[in-house]
Amino acid sequence: MRLKDKVAIITGAASGIGKACVVKFIEEGAHVVATDINEFSLDELKTVHPTIKTVVGNVAHLADTQRIVEAAIDAVGTLDILVNSAGITPRNVGPDATLEERWDAVIEVNLKGTMLMSHAAVEAMRKAGSGSIINLGSIMGSVGYPTTLPFTDGFNPYPSSKGAIAQFTKDLGVRLASEGIRVNAVCPGFVYTSLTENVTQNPTTHKTMTELHPMGRLGEAKEIAAVIAFLASEEASFVTGANWLVDGGYTAQ
């Protein structure tokens, strides 16, 4: 088990890639602290995986991020790994939201939330002299949405939030390298999760999304979790400041 006795905080843990990370990290022997804003789904997760500790919180709020890290240390005594999986798209904000409200909400969760959680975690990791942070980026941090998909008019905040994650990962990774703390990002292609469910249910859009990937399919959350587990482990001990594309060949075209 590559993460045996490691302590990991996983944000956005109640669904999608975060939930898949909870399952994978338990399999790999980690002590998991799962956090999410959705208390009901978090309670369901705890029922299925009773060994985890759950903390309800909003990663975009400074006090919550500090409380999440403190809860992990109080429960297990240290912190080795942070997985910043919490994220939203404009579709999560609501149909009546203004352009400004959608932009602010996505940037606040995806970028500010990643920064705040990382800042709180780094303080704990410094005391231990080591650590690993894995951010959730996206292929949309490297390319624009194709015109064949109805996701953007050029003012969708999601690509900008994920492009910023890529740069944040590089900058923080370089800064913390000498302190034994590694920072990397995983950048998935289109994956079957609750974030994509409302568009993959449209047969035409689903077909277009599938054809954009040379492998001829979308990814599964567990496939992304497997790469995250590798980056969290000592097997990736010489990897930092890197943005790992896990996209079925999407960006290689």
CB atoms within 10 A of CB 162: 25
Residues with catalytic annotation? 158
Cα R_g (the chain), whole angstroms = 17
| pLDDT score at 222 | 98
Residues contacting 230, CB < 8 A, separation 6+: 2, 236
Query: H or E segment at 199?
Result: helix 197-200
pTM: 0.96
Which domains are seen in the chain, by residue range?
7-245 (3.40.50.720)
Report residues of the chain scoring pLDDT below 70.
Answer: none
Residue 169 tokens read as 């990962």
Dump strand ranges (E) for the chain. 7-11, 31-36, 53-56, 81-84, 131-136, 181-188, 191-192, 219-220, 243-246
| pLDDT score at 200 | 84
Residues contacting 137, CB < 8 A, separation 6+: 162, 165, 166, 169, 185, 186, 187, 188, 243
What is the distance between the alpha carbons of residues 72 and 57, in angstroms, rounded to a whole number? 13
Q: Is 182 helix (H, G, I), strand (E, B) or coil?
A: strand
Instruction: Tell me the residue type at 4.
Output: K
Q: How far is CA 138 from the centre of its chain?
A: 9
DSSP assignment of 21-62: HHHHHHHTT-EEEEEES-HHHHHHHHHH-TTSEEEE--TTSH
Strand 181-188 versus strand 53-56 pairing type: unpaired
pLDDT tens digit string along 7-57?
999 999 999 999 999 999 999 999 999 999 999 999 999 999 999 999 999
What is the distance between the alpha carbons of residues 236 and 243, in angstroms, rounded to a whole number? 13
